[in-house]
Amino acid sequence: MKFADHLLQLYIRHFNDKDSLEVFIHSVLEQMDHEELMKVLNKCNKEELEEILGSYLRNNLEHKFNYLGIHVNNDNQLSNNIQ
């Protein structure tokens, strides 16, 4: 994805560690309006869109699991710790 490549180059130019990566990404995205964000997505191929949406959904569901007190046990099974 050209957008990610461009952000990587900007990041490397301004930072020398990974500690600021999340803040950097959020800062860039916050500066973009809806139309600019949609242009980035419209340039993505199907596989890139699946990766973006998959990452978003995985992160979102993990947060919901944590909120609901649902955890993954050693057998990769979901367990609800709410009594």
Domain that holds residue 71: 2-80
pLDDT bin (cut points 50, 70, 90) of residue 56 is very high
pLDDT bin (cut points 50, 70, 90) of residue 81 is low
pLDDT of residue 45: 95
Q: How crowded is residue 5: how many other Cβ atoms within 10 Å of its Cβ?
A: 9
Total domains in the chain come to 1
Task: Give the model confidence (pLDDT) of 43-53 as tens digits.
Answer: 999 999 999 99
> What ranges make up the beta strands (E) of the chain?
70-72, 78-80
Q: Tokens 């995205």 label which residue?
A: 29
Q: Is 76 left (phi over 0), alpha (psi -120 to 50) or beta?
A: left
CA 79 to chain centre: 25
Rounded distance between C-alpha atoms, residue 19 and residue 29, angstroms: 18
CA 56 to chain centre: 5
Q: Is the overall model pTM greater than 0.75, yes or no?
A: no
Q: What is the mean pLDDT of the chain?
A: 90
